[in-house]
Structure 1
């Protein structure tokens, strides 16, 4: 696929034509001859008074006059010769400097043209690789599609200007409907997710951490990364997270969207949240016997630097935990802003919601769960550090248990800053 040439803004001086140089040299020679004539013949006649050199009989003394002329001509000649030599040297230096400048700029133009051709060739090669990889992703054979995933991922590494476009192709492929009975295709999808997660690792080069990752509506299997990873934007809205899944040591600078997602077995996310980071979990469903664990670390400096006090950073509206399911929310660090965590109409239908505050302070109003309801055997477990904060949310119809801080409220709770798998 061809691309438009890159326009270069390099302007060079043109060398003068040989005929123009010859004319200029001829003019300079005539000027030099005229200057010599004036200096050696006309000027001595002005400086020497010939009438002052006469014999006693009144006749002109030609010998004495000639000697006077010669005595004037010698220093004038020496001065003229020196001047002409200096002028010639200056002209030579100027001509040489101009020649060097023209040569340098001509070389710069050649290099610019070479770079333009190289960039055009590289652009054509990258576009060709993009089309080939996209064609492989649409092939009927799983082995060819797998090669297409690897090709597109490597192209995203090489093509920084279009990295997001390449990532968009991979995530669009991952979002396509998946037949659970197609084992080969499930392996291709898992490889796709592995290639994405690997490039989110902190220290990876090149990094895809600045890319927008849209996995909405997908069947997500094998979402496992021990961290540390950096994420700016990840969307898993209406996705089904299947199997044992985890994202540990996440450094979140932007937003992770889980709205409408279904937790099919187990999903853990331990995140260090930046000042403007947010996690959206509205309408998330934890199916029977499944586990959801979200651990959040927030430093005192991050808490102070939050640009929008009162902005909801963790949204749990309409979260639903079904029979024997468990949802754990653990807060580590400083949470001084009102409505940091907000969840309207959270429903614990036979499952369990655990609210934990660890190693820091959760200010009054930072956690708000209006219309929190439990039905059947559903209950809410709160440790003492958080109980004062959410007491107003737990009315008499809400089954809740107060647990002492000394007790291990959640045996699966972990510090979001530290690795679990060492």
Structure 2
């Protein structure tokens, strides 16, 4: 009887040891499989990257366009090298070309659309990546609910009707030195860390509208939100509208110029402004140009140095043709 029990226990121990060995072997095999699978995927991603990059360098615009979509899809899937894929697309967009080349404009437009389509909170999201479209050609870009973070569009050329409504600016967004023709509209929310630069820009289109709604209580810090240094307006209507709680010098600009028959307008909603919320220094205005301001503090919120400006009532006579009657409706 004892010998039988001993044999049973020995058999059970042997079986248990065998099971442990099998489990260890299975875990090791699974680990090897995962490593091999990861290596295989990386090799596949690398091959797709090379193929897409080759397409972007092709002489045919149709092939280059296919390369844009291929690189964009790869960036969605290849999270480890997402930034590298985005950098390739942005580098292509930054190269110079003749704007009269219709086929090439379609390629550039596709890059901008693929990038901005993914500046969102849901996956696949590129909102946390570095986006540098400096000098890019942007045409008819229309996307709502975009998250603008780490975005540089310095020296970009905007054509057609570009609209970014219900956006959210997080950190710094720069349009320094950009050229705007046609129409441009940016309606966005902002927080204490937001900063938008239109320094050194040239506005030569029909309508240019930047509306900012500040989220949260009034910040006690003296912090610039909108930078308008050396802004030049040569034609059209330029409208800056503010809603929320803004501090001293929230909008700052020096040596801006308004030329021709252009108009520059500032609208602050009631209760949003502090003293000198908007400060423009050394503003040059030609005789036929106009500045119109809606100042809820009766001259204390907007400082234009020695400039004279019209009464708030003139704002109701403006014709925006295509903009909402309330410029902040989309926020």
TM-score (norm 2): 0.90
1:346 aligns with 2:256: yes
Q: Identify the residue that residue 275 of structure 1 maps to in structure 2.
A: 192
Measured in 1, the distance between the counterparts of 2:231 and 2:173 equals 16
8 Å Cα contact 2:292/2:314 also seen in 1: no
Q: Identify the residue that residue 250 of structure 1 maps to in structure 2.
A: 167
Q: Identify the residue that residue 107 of structure 1 maps to in structure 2.
A: 26
| Change in 2 beyond 3 A, CA 1:96/1:286 | same
Q: Which runs of 5+ in 1 are unaligned?
A: 1-80
Give 1:106 shift. 0.8
Q: Identify the residue that residue 35 of structure 1 maps to in structure 2.
A: none
Greater gyration radius = 1
Q: Identify the residue that residue 174 of structure 1 maps to in structure 2.
A: 93
Give 1:417 shift. 6.0
| Change in 2 beyond 3 A, CA 1:283/1:103 | same
Q: Identify the residue that residue 286 of structure 2 maps to in structure 1.
A: 375
| Change in 2 beyond 3 A, CA 1:208/1:317 | same
Measured in 2, the distance between the counterparts of 1:192 and 1:102 equals 54
Q: How many residues align structurally?
A: 327
- The Cα RMSD (Å) is 2.4
Q: Identify the residue that residue 213 of structure 1 maps to in structure 2.
A: 131
Q: 1:403 aligns with which of 282, 305, 312?
A: 312
Give 1:274 shift. 2.9
Measured in 2, the distance between the counterparts of 1:359 and 1:125 equals 58
Measured in 1, the distance between the counterparts of 2:271 and 2:9 equals 79
Give 1:155 shift. 0.5
Q: Identify the residue that residue 148 of structure 2 maps to in structure 1.
A: 231
Measured in 1, the distance between the counterparts of 2:242 and 2:198 equals 16
Say which SS state the counterpart of residue 369 (structure 1) adopts: strand
1:418 aligns with 2:330: yes
Measured in 2, the distance between the counterparts of 1:317 and 1:210 equals 28
| Change in 2 beyond 3 A, CA 1:408/1:362 | farther
Q: 2:202 aligns with which of 261, 285, 300?
A: 285
8 Å Cα contact 1:343/1:370 also seen in 2: yes
Measured in 2, the distance between the counterparts of 1:222 and 1:298 equals 27
Give 1:384 shift. 3.4
